Structure 1
Amino acid sequence: MEEIKSLYIHFPFCRHLCNYCDFYKSIKEDEAQLEEFESLFSQMSKKHQEILTDNNATLKKLETLYIGGGTPSLWGIEGAKFLGKWMEENNISFCEKNEFTLEVNPGAWTKDGLEAWRNIGVNRYSLGIQSLDSNFLKIIDRVHNVDDVHNTLTFFKEGQYNFSVDFMIGLPFSKKYNRDIISELTEILTYNPSHISLYILTVPKHYKYFQDLPDDEWISDEYTKVAQFLSINGFEHYEVSNFAKRSKASEHNLNYWRMRSVAALGPSATGLIQNTRYRYKWKTKDAQVVEERLSEDEYQIEKLYMNLRSSVGFPIKDQYWGDLSEYVQKLKKDGLAMVGVNKFTLTSRGFLILDSIMDEIFKISK
């Protein structure tokens, strides 16, 4: 029986719906919505046990638990009580070494609420900052302001919390207003985060500011400057969008990039049971899932992509993809990869052209 040691929970409420975000969520207006969500969560939990049983898997001792959204910090004290009781009733506990992450947005938390989450085991926080420039916060429709950001960062620094900061580049009007991303990050580092996630804004063509997005050259330059700056300041670029101080990488997210099993609960949450290649995505209104069995080709392609986008790396000689030695040496020569004894990993420059590298590997392996 496979023991799954990672769980993702999706909390689907926010104070405000930002104009760029495509995660499933709705505006939290009253406590009745939370009661409905918790009822749905309990129903999903029962269905989830059936899924685990059917795939000869179990969920008992967790190495990682990640609560994302949405804005999970809005769940507050009652949410911590609910989840603590749910874990107890379902005999779910933590391994001695574990990582329990809660996403927090500026202006959407209370001291008592965070204390309640800490009491049930949260030991890592992901703060949705996105920018320290008030103009860009307005452009991307964030409901918090710069004062909310600094108040949040000050609280987490003074409390010596282990926290990550989410930042975005490639924002609308960045080129026009000459956004100084390094200045913003310099200020962020004074608060001593252990981890920084840096996402390139990706939006559909109907996005209201689509025509105002910076060009690829600007984004590439912005990304490269950030990677160099954070490297100088002691952060390892261990995944396309993630930088961490020593031993502070997100263990939960590394499980995705290693293609390990991750269980999931909550509307739109997606889980994977690795041994049976079974992927499931929860529907948003009832306790039912959309199921998928990955074929061998689908699994191997996804494994290649997930491994290469992180420091997990990929074998130079692989049973499925063959001998990549010649191509890997070319990548190394071009400064796009670092080569070890049996595997290779991409550099920051390599991450930027990951899709092109994947295409080339497809050609070589045909």
Structure 2
Amino acid sequence: MTRESSASPLIFGGDASSPRAALPVLPPLALYIHIPWCVRKCPYCDFNSHTASPVLPEEEYVDALLADLDQDLHAVYGRELSSIFFGGGTPSLFSADSLGRLLKGVEQRIPFASDIEITLEANPGTFEQDKFVAYRKLGINRLSIGIQSFQQEKLQALGRIHNGDEAVRAAGMARQAGFDNFNLDLMHGLPNQSLDDALADLRTAIALKPTHLSWYQLTLEPNTVFWNQPPTLPEDDTLWDIQEAGQALLAEHGYAQYEVSAYALLGRPARHNLNYWSFGDFIGIGAGAHGKLSHPDGRIVRTWKTRLPKDYLNPAKSFRAGEKALGNDEMPFEFLMNALRLTEGVESRLYPERTGMTLESLAEGRREAEQSGLLQVEPSRLVATVRGQLFLNDLLQKFLT
């Protein structure tokens, strides 16, 4: 299969061509692999996912993914992968044979770190014990299981294909397959959900003893069924009660909040996501995947791939839909919209290391944010206050130029 190297010219953002310091050390490198098919599209989902046909083009798609990766290799020569994340869609629709061929092809192109984290997203409705044993043997060592709720009424409202019993069994099957590190994805603020409903879901999840919980509020996103046909969601006071009581329950059971919606047992935060939030690098391959790569000369380039699977698999079309070099004026916001999601923020030194910009370039916004009580007055760290975490958009506005 042959492809053009780019679908569009490089777009420079802001003052991208003005001088910027060379990066002393390149950040860790990750790989995101997007598999865009689902059994059924959920009414709240705004991800690039598409209802699967009875037979998926697994072989053709793996070929395309490796060809796509080949076109990004020139930008990462000599580096190793610290993590890989299979997202979707529902990556667990693919066979172990297909994922094995893909992982082998990736490792032949980019060396793996000795302690690489490899995460696969999976939904309870696609769990098969033999399949997940085979996934574990491939070197996939972390699962992220999309539960959302354990209550049948809520699952039906969300358009999920599994029931509560299947969700519970999925966690047990993951452990039996050899996964001692797995995340459960859980939502709150669901249609007609009470405080007791939300806490019952959390207690069920905690009882399954995952190493990590993603617990976040349902939001209505444009271009979704829920956006056009909004369900009845809990009142703001109920949402606040759920948030407070849920965080207390998670802390009581040893799940420390380290990001806006991420909670983990000691030593078990998601390495791949930490890399995103600390402005690390990642290659994105697959339909609609996004990437961000730093270059030693200080250039930082975001890329995005062709969105529709039929176009991505079409040899006459390019994998890459576009790319953009970040400008100096964009850098404070780009860095901080990720870093300030972390409850402990990041060390201040990381900003010049990852951006090639000086800390002085943050000075005005930093001063305004501190005076507004949104950013902690802590010279060695960039970290939001509790209020800043709650009003993160207001905080980030201080760094827009």
Same fold (TM over 0.5): yes
- CA gap of 1:59–1:261, structure 2 versus 1, over 3 A, is farther
- Does the 8 A contact of 2:260 with 2:343 survive in 1? no
Residues 1:272 and 2:284 aligned together:
no
Q: Which moved more, 1:39-48 or 1:148-157?
A: 39-48
1:84 is displaced (CA, Å) by 3.0
- Does the 8 A contact of 1:314 with 1:343 survive in 2? yes
Residues 1:263 and 2:283 aligned together:
yes
Once residues 18 and 282 of structure 1 are traced to their aligned partners in structure 2, the CA distance between those partners, rounded to angstroms, is 23
Residue in structure 2 matched with residue 129 of structure 1 by the alignment: 147
Once residues 125 and 6 of structure 1 are traced to their aligned partners in structure 2, the CA distance between those partners, rounded to angstroms, is 16
- CA gap of 1:42–1:84, structure 2 versus 1, over 3 A, is closer
Identity across matched positions, percent: 30
- Does the 8 A contact of 1:259 with 1:274 survive in 2? no
1:68 is displaced (CA, Å) by 0.7
Of the three residues 331, 334, 348, the one matched with 1:299 is 331
Q: Under a length normalisation based on structure 2, what TM-score does the superposition of the two structures give?
A: 0.79
Residue in structure 1 matched with residue 68 of structure 2 by the alignment: 44
Residue in structure 2 matched with residue 319 of structure 1 by the alignment: 360
Of the three residues 142, 164, 167, the one matched with 2:186 is 167
Give secondary structure in 2 for the equivalent of 1:46. helix
Residue in structure 1 matched with residue 172 of structure 2 by the alignment: 154
- CA gap of 1:321–1:340, structure 2 versus 1, over 3 A, is closer
Of the three residues 137, 162, 172, the one matched with 1:144 is 162
Letter of the aligned partner of 2:104 in structure 1?
K
Once residues 269 and 204 of structure 2 are traced to their aligned partners in structure 1, the CA distance between those partners, rounded to angstroms, is 21
Residue in structure 2 matched with residue 195 of structure 1 by the alignment: 212
1:340 is displaced (CA, Å) by 5.2
Once residues 337 and 233 of structure 1 are traced to their aligned partners in structure 2, the CA distance between those partners, rounded to angstroms, is 28
CA displacement 1:287-339 (0-9 Å, x = unmatched): 223111111121211212211111451567942121646854773xxxx7766
Give secondary structure in 1 for the equivalent of 2:180. coil
Unaligned 5+ runs, structure 1 = none
Give the aligned CA root-mean-square deviation in angstroms. 2.7
- Does the 8 A contact of 1:47 with 1:288 survive in 2? no
Once residues 271 and 83 of structure 1 are traced to their aligned partners in structure 2, the CA distance between those partners, rounded to angstroms, is 18
1:12 is displaced (CA, Å) by 1.0
Residues 1:23 and 2:47 aligned together:
yes
Letter of the aligned partner of 2:291 in structure 1?
G
**Larger relative CO (CA 8 A, sep 6+): 1 or 2?**
2
Give secondary structure in 1 for the equivalent of 2:125. coil
Letter of the aligned partner of 1:78 in structure 2?
D
- Does the 8 A contact of 1:67 with 1:101 survive in 2? yes
Residue in structure 2 matched with residue 309 of structure 1 by the alignment: 341
Residues 1:71 and 2:90 aligned together:
yes
Once residues 264 and 56 of structure 2 are traced to their aligned partners in structure 1, the CA distance between those partners, rounded to angstroms, is 39
Give secondary structure in 1 for the equivalent of 2:102. helix
Aligned residues: 351
Q: Which moved more, 1:15-24 or 1:106-115?
A: 106-115
CA displacement 1:149-199 (0-9 Å, x = unmatched): 011022234555211110111212225xx5521222112111111110112
Residue in structure 2 matched with residue 352 of structure 1 by the alignment: 390
Residue in structure 2 matched with residue 290 of structure 1 by the alignment: 322
- CA gap of 1:314–1:119, structure 2 versus 1, over 3 A, is closer
- Does the 8 A contact of 2:141 with 2:179 survive in 1? no
Once residues 252 and 32 of structure 1 are traced to their aligned partners in structure 2, the CA distance between those partners, rounded to angstroms, is 27
Residue in structure 2 matched with residue 235 of structure 1 by the alignment: 255
Q: Which moved more, 1:317-326 or 1:208-217?
A: 317-326
- CA gap of 1:133–1:32, structure 2 versus 1, over 3 A, is closer
